[in-house]
Structure formats: structure tokens, C-alpha cells
């Protein structure tokens, strides 16, 4: 895998192909995120859908539906021309932090906290030591005493 990542990072562009099959517009390949992390221009031939939504604003990304052969041909010619003209894309404009696990987990935690009505800024215990110091409710204590 390390060698594959090195190849991605050194490539002039990365090709992603998704077949135009039923429900393919909902498929997000794992390589989508590997390609994004490589910060290289992407040539995506896939049905318009979730993959397009994720990568459409990344510098140098070209999107083509699999059925549009003319568009695929034109975009491939453009990629070749950009390579010949030594066109580079500034990877500083790649907004991919929002896809990092920590960021997504934080968004999920906020959503769950909002759902259960936990006040903003209040957090759950983050270690077993913190969890061990939580006072049990009266119900828990009574049930435990009855079971002994």
C-alpha cells in the first residue's frame, strides 16, 4: 500500500472509473479519499452523484459521465495539454480536512449531543477513569443491592 500511495503522490493525474450501473451514483470508492489525500488532479469517469459532489471543487478535477465519450475524449486531451504546458495546481486550495475521521466524528458527536439535549460545551467522560467516577443513579444502586 505504501508503494501505491507513493505512486499516487508522484502521478501527474489520477484516474477513477465507475461503471454506469444501477445505483452507481451512490458509490463512493475508498480510493476517492486516497486520491484526495494525494492532492493530485483527478480525472473522474463516473455517473454524476456522490463522488462528483465530493471532488467537484478540488483543483484540476475533471468529471465525465461514462456515457459521454466526447467529453471524456476532450477532457483527456486537456489533461495531456496541461501536462505538456507544465500546468500545476495549488494543493493549498484542497479543502479536504472536512473529510478527516476526527472532523466527521466531531460532527457526529455534536449531532448526537443535540439529539439527546446535552448542553453545548458539556462532554461525556473520555476515559475509563472518568467513567468510573460517575455517580450511579438511585435506581442503579437499588437494583445492584437487590441482586447481591
Q: Helix, strand or coil for residue 57?
A: coil
Measure the CA–CA gap between 35 and 18, rounded to whole angstroms.
Answer: 14
Please state the φ and ψ torsions of residue 28, each to the nearest 5 degrees: -120, 105
Per-residue pLDDT reduced to its tens digit, 56-82: 988 889 999 999 999 999 999 999 998
Per-residue pLDDT reduced to its tens digit, 119-145: 666 666 665 555 555 555 455 444 444
Please state the φ and ψ torsions of residue 45, each to the nearest 5 degrees: -110, 100
Measure the CA–CA gap between 141 and 138, rounded to whole angstroms.
Answer: 5
Percent of the chain with pLDDT over 70: 73
Measure the CA–CA gap between 34 and 16, rounded to whole angstroms.
Answer: 11
Residue 94: alpha-carbon gap to chain centroid: 12
Q: What is the DSSP letter of 101?
A: H
Measure the CA–CA gap between 54 and 56, rounded to whole angstroms.
Answer: 6
Per-residue pLDDT reduced to its tens digit, 6-45: 999 999 899 999 988 888 888 888 889 899 888 888 999 9
Amino acid at each position: 500500500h505504501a508503494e501505491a500511495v507513493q505512486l499516487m503522490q508522484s502521478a501527474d493525474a489520477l484516474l477513477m472509473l465507475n461503471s454506469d450501473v444501477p445505483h452507481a451514483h451512490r458509490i463512493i470508492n475508498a480510493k476517492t479519499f486516497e486520491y484526495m489525500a494525494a492532492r493530485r488532479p483527478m480525472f473522474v469517469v463516473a455517473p454524476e452523484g456522490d463522488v462528483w459532489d465530493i471532488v467537484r471543487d478540488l483543483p484540476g478535477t475533471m468529471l465525465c459521465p461514462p456515457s459521454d465519450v466526447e467529453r471524456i475524449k476532450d477532457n483527456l486531451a486537456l489533461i495531456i495539454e496541461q501536462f505538456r504546458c507544465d500546468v500545476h495546481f495549488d494543493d493549498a486550495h484542497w479543502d479536504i480536512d472536512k473529510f478527516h475521521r476526527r472532523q466527521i466524528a466531531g460532527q457526529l458527536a455534536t449531532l448526537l449531543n443535540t439529539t439527546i439535549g446535552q448542553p453545548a460545551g458539556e462532554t461525556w467522560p473520555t476515559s475509563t477513569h472518568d467513567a468510573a467516577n460517575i455517580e450511579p443513579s438511585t435506581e442503579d444502586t437499588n437494583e445492584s443491592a437487590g441482586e447481591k
